Amino acid sequence: MTDDGKRRWKGPKDGANKNTSGRRTGERKIIAHRAKSESSKKWLERQLSDPYVQKARNDGYRARAAYKLLEIHEQTKLLKHGSRVVDLGCAPGGWLQVCVKFGVKELVGIDLLEVEPVTGAYIIQGDVNEPQDVAEMMAGLTGPPDLVLSDMAANTTGHKQTDSLRTAALADMALHFAEHNLVQGGAFCSKVFQGGATPETMVQLKRMFRTVKHIKPPSSRAGSPELFVVAKGFRGG
């Protein structure tokens, strides 16, 4: 007891887990649950009020992200009838659906997540970093791809610089894949964050392709830091 008669908290006994937050474990769990619930509530409200979400349902697309590729195509004419296309990080399959709509001849995709089948696409559940998974995916093509797409993005942390760096690493991974697999004259499109591709990546892109540009599709939310880099005219590995 202290001089004023109040009991002093002495902390856990030796060997017990220490709680340095000043809150009981149960209280911290409740707070974390409330924060998660509030975040989920805001996400649901945003989804319900998003015109692209409703449009995707009406048009039969699995995700609003399909319109990003459609809008990128409107500006760049990326998708060619009869071409071969690779979609890296293809879940849930919206970009695959768009490619099928434009008459892509051969279409393959890969993602860590399981993806429901898309008619006209050969889909592998696997890792782009695993040569065996990539080889299995590429077995769905009869020749090198004319276009490599990547909508891959790391799970966001809320820290802009960290999220940008993590997504930039995925863009570099996609570019590495393109460098070793694209047909000469082929094209590349990948998600990047904030200011676009890093200076080092831009140097590499300009060395590898004849034209390079950044695009912010209208369907990309105004508050989102995402951009897409589009490179055309692959000079060869």
pLDDT per position as a tens digit, 65-93? 999 999 999 999 999 999 999 999 999 99
Closest Cα to residue 94, out of 75, 74, 66?
Answer: 66
| pLDDT computed for residue 48 by the predictor | 55
Catalytic residue among 6, 191, 206, 216: 191
Question: Is pLDDT above 50 for 193?
Answer: yes
Domain boundaries, the chain: 13-49, 62-234
Residue 119: pLDDT band (50, 70, 90) is very high
Tokens of 104: 């892509």
Instruction: Give pLDDT, residue 139.
Output: 98
CATH fold of 62-234 reads Rossmann fold (3.40.50)
User: Does residue 191 have an active-site annotation?
Assistant: yes
pLDDT for residue 105 is more than 90: yes
Confidence of residue 14 (pLDDT cuts 50, 70, 90): very low
Pairing of strands 122-125, 209-215: unpaired
The β-bridge relationship of strands 147-150 and 122-125 is unpaired
Whether pLDDT at 61 is above 60: yes
Q: CA-to-CA distance for 83 and 115, rounded, in angstroms?
A: 22
Say if residue 143's pLDDT is above 80.
yes
Task: Give the pLDDT score at 47.
Answer: 52
pTM to 2 decimal places: 0.78
Burial state string for 129-157 with b = 16 or more CB within 10 A and e = fewer than 16 = eeeebbebbbebbeebbbbbbbbbbeeee
Q: Quickly state the pLDDT bin for 237 (edges 50, 70, 90).
A: low
Q: Is 23 helix (H, G, I), strand (E, B) or coil?
A: coil
Residue 231 neighbours by CB distance under 10 Å: 26
pLDDT band at 203 (very low <50, low <70, confident <90, very high): very high
Residue ranges with strand state E in the chain: 84-88, 106-111, 122-125, 147-150, 187-193, 209-215, 226-234
pLDDT at position 165, please? Answer: 80
Task: Tell me which of 193 and 231 has the higher pLDDT.
Answer: 231
Residue % of the chain over a pLDDT of 70:
78
